[in-house]
Chain A
């Protein structure tokens, strides 16, 4: 769409870089605020309305993946680096909760949830050296080194005494059970999700976020313009690790027992990457949408037959990348933007008169931020 703007400018038309259409900004913000309010209410009452445990289980896993994808996108989508090693933080969080709860002989109960922030801190501690090493490289090498570090952690969890190898560790059994078993997990997950979205949204609008986007567009030029690329990348990377560690811990408590292969799962990263790509990499709502669609699908396939799941997942991934390379949200956003722009300016001449713009000029509404 920016090419369109440039082309229009080259043709000598007046280009106005502002939000398109006749809807004033205040109204758009009002609509957005209302949508956020509705989403929060739905999030809050969902398990009360759909109290079937099968449904709330799927809802819980969906929250876990919405959080992970949002956090991952907060680094990958904004910086252009594609890390495939965030399962390290998921596993670190899971093992932190399991090991600490075991060593302290914690009884099952709400107290265990206090270990969730601790797991986030553990993910942070792991992410700093991980990021320092991996972020020295770029592009392919970066992707591969994150995969290699992931395998190191998986091997460690299989072989270190503290993780008890392939026999795994049991987490405390919560005292609540029955139909309401999932409810506390759901709400803790919902809180982490809301916090992650807030962080992602805040990054997108901050000076820090702009610096990250500059790195995505051209890292060397960003450095030349005075962005401290090394620090910005590391901070972004570490921030993206924390929520993943927290939901990893929550997952461990929910499942009741963790193993190296479930805590450090090579499919974890490809799953959250697919979710982010499906919805729209680098947008705030895209990854949420992607996880909301894909995670229930994944749960359904896993229950029926894991190998079908692999095939269906791979096929879907190919279709998404080849047909919608920018993801659903940016594609739809651009489509709406174009429609609105076309309606606002049916033909250059008419538009010039109707809008009372510069004589002979066309109003071009460049929907620069249609991505949200």
Chain B
């Protein structure tokens, strides 16, 4: 029992890293633009399908394929922002953004169903179904590789945000849009690029998700509800909070599934959100008051 709990914790941390990557994209978009991208979940699935096509049709390795899928998803994100989200204005912008991205999500879902049907598929490679022994536990290679990829990309994201001029503009826009505009930041351009960036990091997460889970075009709903839970628990707009919340939640889910039952682990995931928000409406790591937003 103790060793299976240890394994659950390790699995939770490793998959939590991947969810952290996907949630980072979502929370970054929220922080800069004050909108929620409901389409993030289905974009993860879209990225997974792209990796699927590249690996099954062209025989490109999953990790090499990221060189194609990540830029592609960046372009998709930029187009969605430019075509739809930029055009929203006014008091109802937040609510509208949820509905618009929801609409984008169901369009992409419909297109994926037309193309791939609702049958479940899973990405395959040598490292997907092989494991190695560590401390008496079997760990699948893909979990470790996925975690390493997520860690590398999060580090890269950190470098972009804190070491480049663009990153400084992004952080300025996150702190205060109009002040950033006053000091010469092109907030519209920053918003578009941030949206693209937030979607692009998700593409990498989508590949690992597709390799560790069977998925179909409807998987986006489950994903987005988890990602939103993570982002809210982490305090919206806080990337560090999203990382902490992702690892915490995935570990919690895995441990519950071992000590209680896999049936109820997903429930615990959402119940944690409800309980935390009932006690602390700003989320686990939130500083800015979610109530006053």
Q: Which residue of A lies closest to B286 (CB)?
A: A141
Interface-central residue, A133, A136, A137, A140, by most chain B CB under 10 Å: A140
A313 touches B267 (CB 8 A): no
**For residue A156, which residues in chain B have a CB less than 8 angstroms away from its CB?**
267
> Would you give the shortest CB distance from B281 to chain A, in whole angstroms?
5
Q: Assuming the A-B contacts A310-B107, A315-B107, are A151 and B270 also in contact, with contact meaning beta carbons closer than 8 angstroms in the complex?
A: yes
Q: Which B residues are in CB contact (< 8 Å) with A152? A: 267, 270-271, 274
- Partner of A138 from the list B90, B264, B271, B291 (CB cut-off 8 Å) is B291
Are B274 and A133 in contact (CB-based, < 8 A)? yes
- Cα A273 to Cα B92 with chains together (Å): 14
A324 to chain B, nearest CB (A): 12
Expressed in whole angstroms, the Cα–Cα distance for A155 and B99 within the complex equals 24
Shortest CB-to-CB span from A52 to chain B, Å, is 29
**A 270-317 contacts with B by CB, 8 A:** 270, 273-274, 277, 306-311, 313-315, 317
B215-231 Cβ-contact flags toward A at 8 Å (1 or 0): 00000010001001100
Report whether over half of chain A's contact residues are helix, strand or loop; otherwise say mixed: helix
A310 to B100 Cα, complex, angstroms? 14
Q: How far is the CB of A28 from chain B (nearest CB, A)?
A: 29
B30 proximal to A (CB < 8 A): yes
A314–B274 contact, CB under 8 A? no
Q: Does A325 contact B (CB under 8 A)?
A: yes
Binds B, one of A142-150, A199-207, A331-339: A142-150
Do B110 and A155 touch (CB < 8 A)? Answer: no
Interface bits B250-293 vs A (CB < 8 Å: 1, else 0): 00000000000001101100110110011001000000001111
Residue pair B92, A325 in contact (C-beta under 8 Å): yes
- The answer to whether A137 touches B94, judged by C-beta atoms less than 8 angstroms apart, is no
B157 interface residue (CB < 8 Å to A): no
Contact for B95 among A143, A159, A307, CB less than 8 A = A143
* Closest-CB distance, A341 to chain B (whole angstroms): 23
Q: Which residues of A contact B102 (CB under 8 A)?
A: 270, 317
Tell me if B236 is interfacial: C-beta within 8 Å of chain A: yes
Residues of A within 8 A of B292 (CB): 138
Q: How far is the CA of A91 from the CA of B183 in the complex (A)?
A: 52
Contact status A159-B263, CB under 8 Å: yes
Q: List B residues 188-213 near A (Cβ within 8 Å).
A: none
Determine the distance from Cα of A109 to Cα of B281 in the docked complex, in whole angstroms. 47
Least Cβ–Cβ distance between A309 and chain B, in angstroms: 7
Contact A141 B232 (CB under 8 A): yes
A41 within 8 A of B: no
Q: How far is the CB of B114 from chain A (nearest CB, A)?
A: 5
Q: How far is the CB of B285 from chain A (nearest CB, A)?
A: 14
Given A139-B94, A321-B99, A321-B103, CB of A307 within 8 Å of CB of B113: yes
Report which of B106, B114, B232 forms a contact with A144, defined as CB distance below 8 A: B232
Contacts A155-B270, A270-B99, A307-B113; A318 near B84 (Cβ below 8 A)? yes
CA distance A143 to B98 in the complex (A): 9
**Which residues of A lie under 8 Å from residue B36 when comparing CB positions?**
140, 143-144
Interface assignment of A59: CB less than 8 Å from any CB of chain B: no
Distance in angstroms from A326 CB to nearest chain B CB is 9
Interface residues of A in 120-166 (CB under 8 A from B): 133, 136-141, 143-145, 147-149, 151-152, 155-156, 159
Q: Is the Cβ of B274 less than 8 Å from the Cβ of A148?
A: yes
Determine whether A266 belongs to the interface, using a CB cutoff of 8 Å to chain B: yes
Q: Are B103 and A141 in contact (CB under 8 A)?
A: no
Q: Which of B87, B90, B225 has the most CB of A within 10 A?
A: B225
**B156 within 8 A of partner (CB):** no
> Is A314 a contact partner of B103 (Cβ separation < 8 A)?
yes
Q: Are B99 and A310 in contact (CB under 8 A)?
A: no
Report the separation of the CA atoms of residues A277 and B100 in the bound assembly, to the nearest whole angstrom: 11
With known contacts A82-B95, A141-B293, A315-B107, A136–B87 Cβ distance under 8 A: no
Partner of A137, one of B103, B263, B277: B277
Q: Which of A80, A141, A306, A318 is in CB contact (< 8 Å) with B290?
A: A141
Instruction: For the complex, give the distance between the alpha carbons of A321 and B103 in Å.
Output: 10
Determine if B99 and A317 form an interchain contact, defined as CB atoms under 8 angstroms apart.
Answer: yes
Measured between C-beta atoms, what is the minimum distance from A276 to chain B in Å?
10
Asked if A306 contacts B113 (CB within 8 A), the reply is yes
- Whether A309 touches B110, Cβ cut-off 8 Å, given contacts A151-B270, A152-B271, is yes
Whether B79 is near chain A, meaning CB under 8 Å from some CB there, is: no
CB pair B110 A307 closer than 8 Å? yes
Residues in B152-173 with C-beta less than 8 Å from chain A = none
**Cβ contacts under 8 Å, A136 to chain B:** 277-278, 281, 291
Q: Across the interface, which residues of A come within 8 angstroms of B88, CB to CB?
A: 321-322, 325
In Å, the complex CA distance between A314 and B103 comes to: 4
Binary B-proximity of A51-92 (CB < 8 A = 1, otherwise 0): 000000000000000000000000000001010100000000
Contact (Cβ within 8 A) A155 B267? yes
In whole Å, how far is B242's beta carbon from the nearest beta carbon of chain A?
13
CB–CB B107/A148 < 8 A: no
**Are A159 and B267 also in contact (CB < 8 A) when A133-B274, A133-B277 are?**
yes
Question: Is B104 in contact with A140, judged by CB distance below 8 angstroms?
Answer: no
Q: Which residue of chain A lies nearest to B112 when distances are taken between CB atoms in the complex? A: A307
Closest 5 CB pairs of A and B: A310-B110, A314-B107, A311-B110, A317-B103, A307-B113
Other A-B pairs, 15, CB within 8 Å; known A138-B292, A318-B103: A80-B92, A84-B98, A136-B278, A141-B290, A147-B225, A148-B270, A155-B270, A159-B267, A266-B221, A267-B106, A311-B106, A317-B99, A317-B106, A318-B100, A321-B100
What are 29 pairs between A and B in contact, CB < 8 Å? A84-B98, A136-B281, A137-B291, A138-B290, A138-B292, A140-B293, A143-B98, A144-B228, A147-B225, A148-B228, A148-B270, A148-B273, A151-B225, A159-B267, A273-B99, A277-B99, A310-B110, A311-B114, A313-B103, A314-B106, A315-B103, A317-B103, A317-B106, A318-B100, A318-B104, A321-B99, A321-B103, A325-B88, A325-B90
